[in-house]
Amino acid sequence: MIQRIIGGAVGALVVWLILWWNQVDTTVAATAAIAGAVAAFFWPIVIGFILGRRMRSRRDDEIQAEVARQVAEQTNRQG
C-alpha cells in the first residue's frame, strides 16, 4: 500500500517536472500530475480485478469440461 502511494507521488512529481520543463502552464501541469498519481494508484486494482475474473472464468470452463467428460464416461459404462 505504501509502495503504491510512494509510486504515485513519484510519478506525479516526474509528470509535473516534465511539463514544467516544457513550459506548460502550472495549473495544467498540476492537474496532469494529480491525474497521473491517481491512475498510478488504482491501475493495479483494476488489472487485478480483470485478471481475477479471467482466471475464475477459465477455471469454471475447466470444471464444466471435466464434469461433461465424467458424465459421458459414466453414460458409456452404463449403456
**C-alpha to C-alpha distance for 64 and 51, rounded to whole angstroms:** 20
> What local confidence, expressed as pLDDT, does residue 50 receive?
92
- Across residues 16-34, what is the average pLDDT? 79
Looking at the structure of the chain, the number of domains it has is 1
**C-alpha to C-alpha distance for 18 and 54, rounded to whole angstroms:** 37
What's the pTM value of the predicted model, to 2 decimals? 0.54
pLDDT digits (tens, 9 = 90+) for 37-59: 788 778 888 888 999 999 999 99
- Domain range holding 38? 2-78
pLDDT-derived band at 11, boundaries 50, 70, 90: confident
